[in-house]
A and B are shown apart, each in its own frame.
Chain A
Amino acid sequence: MSSTAATDVVPGTAPSGKGKLTEKTRAERKLGLMLCAPAVVMMLLVTAYPIVYAIILSLQKKDLRFPAEGGFVGLSNYITVLGSSLWWQSVFNTAFITVISVAIELVIGMAVALIMHRAIFGRGLVRTSVLIPYGIVTVVAAFAWFYAFDPGSGFVNHLPLIADNKAWFGGRFSSFAVIIMAEVWKTTPFMALLLLAGLATIDESLYEAARVDGASAWQRFTRITLPLLKPALLVALLFRTLDAFRVFDSIFIMTKGAQNTESVSIVGYQQLLSRLNLGLGSAVSVLIFLIVLLIAFAFVKGFGTTVPKGGGQED
């Protein structure tokens, strides 16, 4: 469907106004909704139950270790969570990891996508090899990074310019640095793959025309590639931001939240699985869910519609 949309609205020409829809578009939209409906109903059935159950739990005092206690406590679990410095610290940590890692991934991912797109020989080999990190299970990758940076077993401290006894997980900044590097290494291929798919949809003739008009490589990139890549960029950034916000494995393996590196997921895990405090843990989970919704909403609103508008840039 997106390909028909892309050919219908040729960039550079005036796009059809948002208010007045043609008969054809309306019919298409209706068909689209009908095609999506079964999937949406299915998703609601599968996801609504746990979400509703979590919300109910979050309003209760419920601790598996103290079966005698219990009962409805209103919003007191939320007040506890929102009044805790540990929660706000973890929100900051998660946001920090998310923003830095996604920014780095976007730049590197774009470069890798352009290389993969333009590779003349060994295309399959380049694409496959770039994807390897993404194919590795996150926990395994986290262990690999942990052992690589461990002063006892790791090779990193034997590299030139690095102190032999540097304790990477002994400091907050260096712990974050390794966690972010591991995240970037692991998921840049995903970013690159999504952007590559976007690049493949751009019509080559546009570049030819631009070249004939004397546009430089930079101009071609900023005037053709970026605007036409906007839907792919939105998807890539949204997916990666939501993914990065749930960061758990790397932190769990490398620091377990030590040195104030807890993410919101680690805090939720500790309340739910270590303390078995289902009420408090569910409140944390529901808050994470709300933040994720907020991020998705902000992205979709911030980026506007996915149909590219001629020349419009609103990054």
Chain B
Amino acid sequence: MAVATSMFAVAACGGGGSSSGRVTLNWFIFNEPSGGVQAAAKKCSAASDGQYTIKFQYLPSQADSQREQLVRRLGAKDSSLDLLGLDVVWTGEFANAGWIEPVPADLQDATKSDFPSVLNTAKFENKLYAVPIWSNTQLLWYRKDRVPTAPKTWDEMLQMASKLGPAKGQIQVQANKYEGLVVWANAMIASAGTSILAGPEKIALDEAKTEKALALMGRLGRSPEHAPNIDTSTEDTARLGFESGSSAFMINYPFVYPSAKSNAPAVFKQIAAAKFPQVDPGRPSKPPLGGINIAVSAYSHHQAAAFAAVKCLIQPANQLNIAKLGGLPPVDASVYDQPALNKDVYPGFADLIKQSIQDAAPRPSESPAYQDLSLAIQEALHPVTSIDPNNPKAAYSKLKDKVQQAVDRKGLL
């Protein structure tokens, strides 16, 4: 914080905060409730030497609806958008459509200590089109009073759960027909050692490995230990289910930790975190990767000011503050060396989050038709209760067909 303040002080020396020439930058992003983003925007506006003021234009809370609002405006070449808060999977689509500006060279230096996994999500055809501001990853949350140690593999977790029974051993995941299911499926397939795409228009999906991943999803779908609402479960229903006490395990983002602290203190005392479970014993898991990148709209009249604002917003001090207030993981690997992160923000599990982001497998967003892929994967795998764990071949061929259809952009989805 002190570092940030002194830097702003230096920047502010240049001249008085004259209001002439000051532009308003509209930042379209969802309303992150902790106030960390707003604080960063306020500081940057104040330190901009009268160059710009950042104004928030809030998008809906669900990622699908955020994207819809943005693409509708961008499709109409709306010049009132300056800064865009993009989900990590939208870069390819937005860049291909010509909606966002490539990032200038001086700003690329500012991202050099970012995790490579995170930085890749901001690239399209090897060119940087957005700048990461925060990341996100999923951990395995478990009850240390119910199991002695965290399960290392899905198989182990399913066995532990069945020993505890459906009243105490439920496993919470996200399997509604939405992006969350794609996040889970992608992490499972990547953890099995393969991937969905091997290039923007080439399917990978190794058969044996994919079937192994799908069989485990189907096993959870058929076991009595899944949450009763598994087919409509989201991040939030999983959190609520875990807080109600019936679950021993949950795959979810770190926001569940502060949530349990205020909503379910008894459960909170027993929460522990571990890495996303392995699909193959011994093969390190590839956890999901989320987060937000900032891009500058191609239709903005204030692009230079917007990039200046981006440069200020992503400073490590702001990243740390956003993590402190909202629990959102920094993208700059060096921030993890700050003791405050391991002490206050992620007590005892900052390294776990760092490791998880480093190992994370991004979703196949290198394809500009990512939305088609996402719909296709949802179509193929929902409901997970329909995947036969003993014969995942049917689910595999359905997935492969649908993904092929999405890559070819043929037919309805």
Residues of chain A having any CB pair with chain B under 8 Å: 63-67, 80-81, 83-84, 86-87, 150-153, 164-167, 169-170, 255-259, 267, 270-271, 273-277, 280, 284
Instruction: State whether A65 touches B97 (Cβ < 8 A).
Output: yes
* Complex CA–CA separation, A165 to B167 (angstroms): 11
In the assembled complex, how far is the CB of residue A167 from the closest CB belonging to chain B, in whole angstroms? 6
User: With A256-B178, A276-B371 given, is the CB distance from A65 to B232 under 8 Å?
Assistant: no
Q: Which residues of A contact B241 (CB under 8 A)?
A: 152
B369 interfacial contact with A, CB 8 Å: yes
In the assembled complex, how far is the CB of residue A298 from the closest CB belonging to chain B, in whole angstroms? 26
User: With A64-B71, A275-B371 given, is the CB distance from A151 to B228 under 8 Å?
Assistant: yes
User: With A255-B177, A276-B371 given, is the CB distance from A165 to B232 under 8 Å?
Assistant: no
Instruction: State whether A67 touches B177 (Cβ < 8 A).
Output: no
Partner of A64, one of B75, B177, B228, B372: B75
Q: Which residues of B contact A151 (CB under 8 A)?
A: 228-229
Instruction: State whether B93 touches A65 (Cβ < 8 A).
Output: yes
Q: Which residues of A contact B267 (CB under 8 A)?
A: none
Instruction: State whether A271 touches B64 (Cβ < 8 A).
Output: no
Q: Which residues of A contact B232 (CB under 8 A)?
A: 150, 167, 169-170, 255, 258
Which of B269-277, B288-296, B326-334, B404-412 is the interface stretch?
A: B404-412
Instruction: State whether B231 touches A170 (Cβ < 8 A).
Output: yes
User: With A64-B97, A150-B229 given, is the CB distance from A276 to B75 under 8 Å?
Assistant: yes
Query: Among A65, A153, A275, which residue has the most Cβ atoms of chain B within 10 A?
Result: A65
Chain A residue at smallest Cβ distance from B246: A152
Q: Which residues of A contact B382 (CB under 8 A)?
A: 258-259
User: With A64-B97, A66-B97, A81-B412 given, is the CB distance from A257 to B177 under 8 Å?
Assistant: yes
Partner of A258, one of B177, B368, B410: B177
Q: Which residues of A contact B409 (CB under 8 A)?
A: 63, 277
Instruction: State whether B97 touches A170 (Cβ < 8 A).
Output: no
Partner of B368, one of A66, A80, A152, A255: A66
* Complex CA–CA separation, A256 to B244 (angstroms): 26
* Complex CA–CA separation, A256 to B383 (angstroms): 12
Chain A residue at smallest Cβ distance from B241: A152
* Complex CA–CA separation, A170 to B175 (angstroms): 11
Instruction: State whether A274 touches B371 (Cβ < 8 A).
Output: yes
B12 interfacial contact with A, CB 8 Å: no
Query: Among A86, A87, A276, which residue has the most Cβ atoms of chain B within 10 A?
Result: A276
What are 11 residue pairs bridging A and B, where the CB atoms are less than 8 Å apart in the complex?
A66-B96, A66-B97, A66-B368, A83-B411, A167-B229, A169-B232, A170-B231, A256-B176, A258-B383, A267-B412, A270-B413
Instruction: State whether B176 touches A258 (Cβ < 8 A).
Output: yes
B237 interfacial contact with A, CB 8 Å: yes
* Complex CA–CA separation, A65 to B71 (angstroms): 9
Instruction: State whether A270 touches B231 (Cβ < 8 A).
Output: no
* Complex CA–CA separation, A255 to B409 (angstroms): 24
* Complex CA–CA separation, A266 to B246 (angstroms): 35
In the assembled complex, how far is the CB of residue A273 from the closest CB belonging to chain B, in whole angstroms? 5
Q: Which residues of A contact B240 (CB under 8 A)?
A: 152-153
In the assembled complex, how far is the CB of residue A90 from the closest CB belonging to chain B, in whole angstroms? 9
Chain B residue at smallest Cβ distance from A87: B412
Given contacts A64-B97, A267-B412, A274-B375, 12 further A-B contacts (CB under 8 A): A65-B368, A81-B412, A86-B413, A151-B228, A152-B240, A167-B229, A170-B232, A258-B176, A258-B231, A259-B382, A277-B409, A284-B412
Chain A residue at smallest Cβ distance from B226: A167
In the assembled complex, how far is the CB of residue B376 from the closest CB belonging to chain A, in whole angstroms? 10
* Complex CA–CA separation, A154 to B283 (angstroms): 40
In the assembled complex, how far is the CB of residue B234 from the closest CB belonging to chain A, in whole angstroms? 11
Instruction: State whether A275 touches B229 (Cβ < 8 A).
Output: no
Q: Which residues of B contact A169 (CB under 8 A)?
A: 229, 231-232
Partner of A84, one of B237, B385, B411: B411
Q: Which residues of B contact A80 (CB under 8 A)?
A: 410-412
In the assembled complex, how far is the CB of residue B183 from the closest CB belonging to chain A, in whole angstroms? 16
B190 interfacial contact with A, CB 8 Å: no
Partner of B383, one of A150, A259, A267: A259
* Complex CA–CA separation, A274 to B93 (angstroms): 12
Chain B residue at smallest Cβ distance from A281: B412
B145 interfacial contact with A, CB 8 Å: no
B312 interfacial contact with A, CB 8 Å: no
B98 interfacial contact with A, CB 8 Å: yes
Instruction: State whether B412 touches A152 (Cβ < 8 A).
Output: no
Partner of B372, one of A170, A258, A275, A284: A275
* Complex CA–CA separation, A9 to B260 (angstroms): 73
Chain B residue at smallest Cβ distance from A64: B75
Q: Which residues of B contact A150 (CB under 8 A)?
A: 229, 232, 237
Q: Which residues of B contact A280 (CB under 8 A)?
A: 412
In the assembled complex, how far is the CB of residue B393 from the closest CB belonging to chain A, in whole angstroms? 21
In the assembled complex, how far is the CB of residue A151 from the closest CB belonging to chain B, in whole angstroms? 4
In the assembled complex, how far is the CB of residue B172 from the closest CB belonging to chain A, in whole angstroms? 10
Q: Which residues of A contact B372 (CB under 8 A)?
A: 275
Q: Mark B225-243, 1 if CB is under 8 A from A, else 0.
A: 0011111100001001100
Instruction: State whether A86 touches B228 (Cβ < 8 A).
Output: no
Instruction: State whether A275 touches B98 (Cβ < 8 A).
Output: no
In the assembled complex, how far is the CB of residue A157 from the closest CB belonging to chain B, in whole angstroms? 8
In the assembled complex, how far is the CB of residue B195 from the closest CB belonging to chain A, in whole angstroms? 22
B68 interfacial contact with A, CB 8 Å: yes
7 closest A-B pairs by beta carbon, nearest first, are: A258-B177, A165-B228, A170-B231, A151-B228, A84-B412, A151-B229, A86-B412
* Complex CA–CA separation, A276 to B383 (angstroms): 25
* Complex CA–CA separation, A67 to B229 (angstroms): 41
Partner of B98, one of A67, A257, A273: A67
Q: Which residues of B contact A153 (CB under 8 A)?
A: 240
In the assembled complex, how far is the CB of residue B99 from the closest CB belonging to chain A, in whole angstroms? 9
Chain A residue at smallest Cβ distance from B92: A65
Q: Mark B359-396, 1 if CB is under 8 A from A, else 0.
A: 00000000011011001000000110100000000000
In the assembled complex, how far is the CB of residue B373 from the closest CB belonging to chain A, in whole angstroms? 11
Instruction: State whether A270 touches B375 (Cβ < 8 A).
Output: yes
* Complex CA–CA separation, A83 to B411 (angstroms): 8
* Complex CA–CA separation, A284 to B410 (angstroms): 14
